[in-house]
Amino acid sequence: MPGHAVAWAREALVLLPERALWWPARRTLLLADLHLGKAATFRAAGQPVPAGTTQRNLARLDALVARHGAQALVVLGDFLHAETARTPALLDALAGWRARHAALAITLVRGNHDSHAGDPPPGLGIAVVDEPHLLGPFACCHHPQRHATHFVLAGHVHPACVLQGPGRDRLRLPCFVAEAGQAWLPAFGEFTGGWRVDAVPQRRRYAVADGQVWALPP
């Protein structure tokens, strides 16, 4: 199986190159920050950005669910980008995707963009909860934070790392981040950008590129 194995909260997990997390014991996929409809929102504001990101995001989700035989999906916030993202085309695409995965249990932990975009249509059968959503030893959240009893899995910051090469060569890549009591997932959605997370003591970063995930030096 592609990806990088880790053990958080004494659970075996796999960091996937599709920028998602696989929890084999629960047959559960976790991901953060789809921001579906973001490109459409920018185009509505007059910005000439490419179309097709929603279909590509849903196709990646199709492949992940099929490859792993997932029974559950947890989205750590920012499912839709904005209220203006709720176009007929996007809602039709979502309905078609959901029909292909009718048996998949889906939970959305509300993020800051969800508060403005509104909950997904009820017909999609998505359970919507506030953070923290406790699941086994994990507190599923959107915003990075500490929890008194559970290991936090969060999104929101779209973490990225910058690798330095010879001379002035630099490469910016999405990454997973883990530190005491919490971990941050990279943004799953395309067209989302990233926030640079530097190396500090007791923090581990796992870069994502070319279908691989690898641990960076501490």
Whole-angstrom distance, CA of residue 140 vs CA of residue 77:
9
pLDDT value at position 4? 97
Residue 203 in contact with residue 181, Cβ under 8 Å? no
Whether 142 contacts 111, CB under 8 Å: yes
CA 191 to chain centre: 13
Q: 155: which residues sit within 8 A by CB, 6+ positions away?
A: 31, 32, 33, 76, 77, 78, 111, 142, 184, 185, 187
Six-digit token pair at 173?
């890549």
The pTM (predicted TM-score) of the whole model is 0.91
Q: HSE on the CB side for 151, CA within 13 Å?
A: 15
**Residue among 39, 40, 1, 38 at smallest CA distance from 20:** 1
Per-residue pLDDT at 118: 87
> What is the distance, to the nearest Å, from the Cα of residue 168 to the centroid of all Cα atoms in its chain?
31
Beta pairing, strands 170-179 & 204-209: antiparallel
Q: Are 124 and 95 in contact (CB under 8 A)?
A: yes
pLDDT 10s digit of each residue in the chain, 218 long? 679 999 999 999 999 999 999 999 999 999 999 988 755 555 455 555 555 578 899 999 999 999 999 999 999 999 997 777 788 888 999 999 999 999 999 999 999 988 888 899 999 999 999 999 999 999 999 999 999 999 999 999 999 999 887 777 888 999 999 999 999 999 998 867 788 999 999 999 999 999 999 999 98
Per the CB < 8 A criterion, the answer to whether 40 and 53 are in contact is: no
